[in-house]
Structure 1
Amino acid sequence: MEPAHLDLRDWSWQPTVLLGLAALVAAYAIAWRRGLVRDDDDVSSWVGSPQLRPWFFGAGVLVGFIALQSPIDTGGDQYLFSLHMVQHLLLMMVAPPLCILGVAGMRAPVTGPPGPLRRAWRGLVNPWCATVIFSMVLLVWHIPALYDATLTTETIHIVEHLSFIAVGIIFWWPIVDPMRGADRQRWVGTFAKIAMLVGSGVPPTVVGLIFTVAPHPFYDFYARAPRLWGLTPVGDQQIAGVVMFGAGNLIYFAAVVMVFWRVFGDPARDEEEAQRGFG
């Protein structure tokens, strides 16, 4: 197999991605200017100070930019399954929670009785629904025939990435619980948040372990791809498996620690969460 070369200068600079990220930053600036995100918001425990929120949001946008435009994107699309796995991890489990932390304490843009769209959103971010959707999207896209199709058909690849970002937002929304307001709905208690994080970690752990121990590659595209850094298809798949269950579970563990820290740092909240339990 012909060896490949990946240069640190191999950035994508795709106009649609750049415009999408610019639109996201513009929407955040408008929300801040219109007072939906304000300095006196209740952001207790998650970010400590309201002034830190733009930094979290900026970090989330930067992670998305790196995932979609850097050599990670080029290497994952052309050479290595493991780099593609890193990209998916960034899109589902790093960029979304950072961006949501960037609006923690935000006032709901619409108040009053919920309309159809708000009811649909509440259904999607119901903790158990969000966990199932997140896990199913992850599993479905890793079916070999579908995964290979994403690497040979650009439209399918775009849909895959958009779905990863969307389910990332849906999953992390009830965990961060960013909205504030008199009529807002508290999504879930502390123990249910932990159950979400633990439960969603099971599918990628199982699949990641399968990738790690399998004696043959599952994806024809990467089996035929030019070799990069001397990695064999099986070795590349093993690294992807470690990324999937290793790095993924580290993120879940960090989130569980933050949930506990949030409770133990506020005795009043601890009592409130204990009374609500899984409610």
Structure 2
Amino acid sequence: MTGPQIPLNEALRSYCGPAAGPGELLRQWNADPLLLAVLALGILLSMRKLSRQPANGRRGLSLIALFAILYVSPFCAWGSSLFAVRVTHHLLLALVLAPLAAQLWRHQCQQVAGGLSAWTAAATAAMWSWHAPNLYAWAVTNDLGYWMMQASIFATATLFWDRIFRSPKPASIAALLAAMVAMGLLGALITLSSMPLYAAHFSTTTAWGMTPIEDQQVGGLIMWAPASTVYLFVALALVRSLTRREARA
């Protein structure tokens, strides 16, 4: 990985608003009317489902609440300041919201072509591509790029988890281990880089007591350890379920 050739100032154009220091962060709420309207519609649809499909209604409300945390609350603006927070945002999208969405939109996901291998590769490609320095710099400095990044990470991860839930356990275990290795490798490359890669954060980390390289290392470590471990834990849970079933057979 190499850094962008032209430094960019995320604070001027980020969808989530300007980078904020600790004293300003709690005032940085996103009041995008279109986003708020979409979330309000999601709440109404989920409330209607509560009486007919209680489980899906609860999933829908949970998903809306999580989206609000990521895109409306000051957490969104915090990602303008720190790469590590932006990484956490992406991982919550891929590892928490996406599996919830895969359960909520099970029938819709079933209509999308592509098997487990294809969506494992697609989800991995999305995560790797958007954390390449030049593409990341473009995505965080204009709204179109930002939403392309968010949508592709979320959509590919949702279909990945849908296929994990549907596929035979041995295949799902193999896919989870492949995803774990890919996430760990990306995190390791970011962590072990000898130079700061993400120009959007070159001038935004000081208020948080970090240098750009320290911020980058924290973000890489979050990918390398906790995120990779999520895939491992799910794979181990499937192994346990598989061995129990075989023991009963």
**Alpha-carbon spacing, 1:270–1:94, altered in 2? closer, same or farther (3 Å):** farther
Paired with 2:214 and 2:71, the residues of 1 have a C-alpha distance of: 24
Q: How does 1:114-133 map to 2 (within 5 A)?
A: 118=111, 121-123=112-114, 126-133=115-122
1:230 aligned to which of 206, 209, 212 = 209
Q: Pick from 147, 158, 163 the counterpart of residue 152 of structure 2.
A: 163
What percent identity do the matched residue pairs reach? 23
Q: Is the 8 A contact 2:50 2:57 kept in 1?
A: no
Q: Residue 98 of structure 2: which of 96, 99, 114 is its match?
A: 96
Contact 1:135–1:203 (CA<8 Å) still a contact in 2?
yes
**Does the CA contact (< 8 Å) of 1:4 and 1:226 recur in 2?**
no
CA contact (8 A) 1:58 1:99 kept: no
Give unmatched runs, 5+ long, in structure 2.
1-18
List per-residue Cα deviations over 1:32-64 (Å, max 9, x = no partner): 66x6x4xxxxxxxxxxxxx65544443333222
Q: Aligned residue for 2:189?
A: 210
TM-score (norm 1): 0.71
Following the alignment from structure 1 to structure 2, what is the Cα–Cα distance between the partners of residues 256 and 150? 32
Question: CA RMSD, aligned part only?
Answer: 2.8
**SS of structure 2 residue aligned to 1:130:** helix
Question: Taking structure 1 as reference, are residues 247 and 19 closer, same or farther at Cα in structure 2, changes over 3 Å only?
Answer: farther
Distance of aligned partners of 1:258 and 1:32 in 2 relative to their CA distance in 1, 3 Å threshold: farther
Across the two proteins, how many residue pairs are aligned to each other? 228
Output the CA distance in 1 between the equivalents of 2:67 and 2:238: 24
| More helix as a share of residues | 2
Find 1:83's aligned residue among 78, 82, 85.
85
Q: Any unmatched runs of 5+ in structure 1?
A: 38-50, 110-116, 178-187, 272-279
Q: CA deviation at 1:223?
A: 1.4
Q: Secondary structure at the match of 2:197?
A: coil
Q: Where does 1:22-101 land on structure 2 (aligned, <5 Å)?
A: 22-28=40-46, 37=53, 54-77=57-80, 79-101=81-103
Q: Taking structure 1 as reference, are residues 30 and 258 closer, same or farther at Cα in structure 2, changes over 3 Å only?
A: farther
Larger Rg: 1
